[in-house]
């Protein structure tokens, strides 16, 4: 072939002569499939749907490497349907319509088509809508795969026509068995290399993989090649660690993992669990989360959950934010860790948070009453003639510095919003409020 020959190369020539290990080891049937026993185990809902040849469309939701594509291919094989794989990253409306037209022709000839859409959440609403009529008519059986929560990322109309199956990250035990099988399989795996491995070595792969079968098999293949290159026959824990370099931390800064982890951090702080809070903080930072986003959320925790029980917490968190901005990573992360531990150990109060919410509710439901005259300023003669400021009592002229006048609008007279707790500094504030109430009653 000429260097300048632009004619397309046949697919079989373009394909790699030796596919990667994850592709070679891809399960061909449910008996070979690892994990997801809650779905495909005996009596599992997905297994029953497959065995009953139920042609309903479905969405597979789960982290990478949990078997979404593999399950779709197994379903196509079991139901003897044509399998069309479609990537939401590479395709648009034009391609969708062409594929749908081809599927409609096939359906008219009695052929069944499974349309598998990887990363379906990347299609916009209009693109997702393009599938609706074909799914409704049963022209195609749609199987979508997504790592994002379909409740947020898939059109409600399309979602209502699909069954959603949630796939879970594989357990470390399942990963160990998976890589053990690949290591010993002479037909599709690495068996011909004649390598051995103790369980602790394979457990290292499993601990690094974070439940991702694809990553674990790629890691095994990399470690096996390194072992062979060194003319050794045993995969050791140390050699595997050297080959892997760094643990995979599943994280998407704009996806559900982002919200799940910050929620776990906030709730650990609220529950005064310093160890858990440090763990979730580190998970986020090590996965590449924006440290200033974390700093802003920590400041929020100080005002929402610590409040006036330990008012110095807000200043400490603002200082941690400034330290992070000034020092950068990794040094500034220690300031965030310090703030998180302090928040965990500080007394807790959401009294101001609750009070502010109650005030907002009253502002929304009651009339916007004018400010009482005695609370208004009277800088002009006309205002004084209109009784602006009449009846105002200057607190500094009163014994105890508390006047007996009402400061709320008439319709809210006597309303209490702030109810201090007995935690930390707020216990003193509660005592002070009781003193103020006595002075206001003239006692």
- The model's pLDDT over 100-136, given as tens digits with 9 standing for 90+, comes to 777 777 777 777 888 898 888 888 887 888 888 888 8
Domain with CATH 3.40.50.300 in the chain: 36-166
**CA atoms of 144 and 154, how far apart (whole Å):** 10
What is the average pLDDT across 184-205?
91
CA distance linking residue 293 with residue 316, whole number of Å: 17
Specify the fold of 371-440. post-AAA+ oligomerization domain-like (1.10.3710)
Q: Does domain 36-166 have CATH number 1.20.120.80?
A: no
Helix (H) or strand (E) holding 86: strand 82-87
Instruction: Check residue 304 and report its DSSP letter.
Output: I
Q: Which CATH number fits domain 256-345: 1.20.272.10, 3.10.20.600, 3.40.50.150, 3.40.50.920?
A: 1.20.272.10
Spatial separation of the C-alpha atoms in residues 345 and 249, rounded to whole Å: 28
List, in sequence order, every beta strand (DSSP E) within 129-214: 141-146, 162-166, 196-197
**Predicted confidence band of residue 5 (pLDDT cuts 50, 70, 90):** very low
Examine residue 188 and say whether the peptide bond preceding it is cis (omega within 30 degrees of 0).
no
- End-to-end distance of the chain based on CA atoms, in angstroms? 103
Residues 198-232 have pLDDT tens digits of 888 899 898 888 889 998 999 899 889 888 888 88
**Residue range(s) in the chain whose domain bears CATH number 1.20.272.10:** 256-345
β-pair type (113-118, 234-235): unpaired
**Sign of the dihedral through C-alpha 429, 430, 435, 440:** positive
Mean pLDDT of the chain: 86
Question: Residue 139 has what pLDDT?
Answer: 79
What digits encode the pLDDT tens for the residues 130-143?
A: 888 888 887 788 99
Find out whether 64 and 250 touch, Cβ atoms under 8 Å: yes
For residue 174, pLDDT over 80 is answered with yes
Distance CA 5, CA 15 (A): 18
**What is the domain class of 172-244 according to CATH?**
mainly alpha
Q: Which residues of the chain form CATH 1.10.3710?
A: 371-440
What is the maximum span of the chain, computed from C-alpha positions, in angstroms? 103
Report CA 18 to chain centroid distance, whole Å. Answer: 36
Query: Where, residue-wise, is CATH 1.10.8.60 in the chain?
Result: 172-244
**pLDDT of res. 2:** 41
């Amino acid at each position: 072939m000429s260097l300048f020959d632009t004619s397309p190369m046949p697919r079989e020539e373009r394909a790699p002569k030796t596919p990667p290990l994850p592709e070679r080891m891809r399960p061909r049937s449910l008996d070979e499939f690892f994990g997801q026993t809650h779905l495909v185990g005996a009596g599992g809902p997905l297994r029953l749907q497959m065995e009953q040849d139920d042609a309903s469309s479905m969405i597979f939701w789960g982290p990478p490497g949990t078997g979404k594509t593999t399950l779709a291919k197994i379903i196509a094989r079991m139901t003897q349907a044509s399998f069309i794989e479609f990537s939401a990253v590479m395709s648009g409306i034009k391609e969708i319509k062409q594929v749908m037209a081809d599927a409609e022709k096939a359906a008219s000839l009695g052929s069944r088509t499974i349309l598998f859409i990887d990363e379906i959440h990347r299609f916009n609403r209009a693109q997702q809508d393009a599938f609706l009529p074909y799914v409704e008519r049963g022209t195609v059986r749609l199987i979508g795969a997504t790592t994002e929560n379909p409740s947020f990322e898939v059109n409600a109309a399309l979602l209502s026509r699909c069954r959603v199956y949630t796939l879970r990250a594989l357990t470390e035990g399942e990963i160990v068995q998976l890589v053990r099988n690949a290591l010993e399989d002479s037909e599709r795996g690495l068996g011909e290399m004649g390598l051995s491995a103790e369980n602790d070595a394979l457990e290292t792969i499993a601990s690094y993989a974070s439940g991702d079968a694809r990553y674990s098999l790629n890691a095994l293949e990399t470690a096996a090649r390194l072992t062979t290159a060194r003319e050794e026959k045993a995969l050791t824990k140390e050699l595997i660690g050297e080959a892997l370099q760094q643990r995979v931390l599943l994280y998407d800064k704009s996806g559900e993992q982002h919200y799940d982890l910050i929620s776990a951090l906030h709730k650990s702080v609220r529950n005064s669990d310093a160890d858990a809070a440090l763990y979730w903080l580190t998970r986020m930072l090590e996965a590449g989360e924006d440290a200033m986003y974390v700093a802003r959320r920590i400041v929020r925790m100080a005002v929402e959950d610590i409040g006036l029980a330990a008012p110095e917490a807000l200043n400490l968190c603002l200082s941690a934010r400034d330290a992070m901005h000034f020092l950068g990573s990794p040094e500034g992360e220690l300031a965030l860790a310090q703030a998180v531990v302090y928040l965990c150990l500080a007394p807790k109060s959401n009294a101001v948070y609750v009070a502010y919410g109650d005030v907002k509710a009253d502002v929304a439901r009651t009339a916007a009453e004018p400010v009482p005259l005695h609370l208004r300023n009277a800088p002009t003669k006309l205002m004084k003639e209109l009784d602006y400021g009449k009846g105002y009592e200057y607190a500094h002229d009163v014994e105890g510095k508390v006047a007996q006048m009402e400061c709320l609008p008439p319709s809210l007279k006597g309303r209490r919003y702030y109810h201090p707790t007995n935690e930390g500094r707020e216990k003193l504030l509660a005592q002070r409020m009781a003193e103020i109430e006595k002075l206001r009653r003239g006692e």
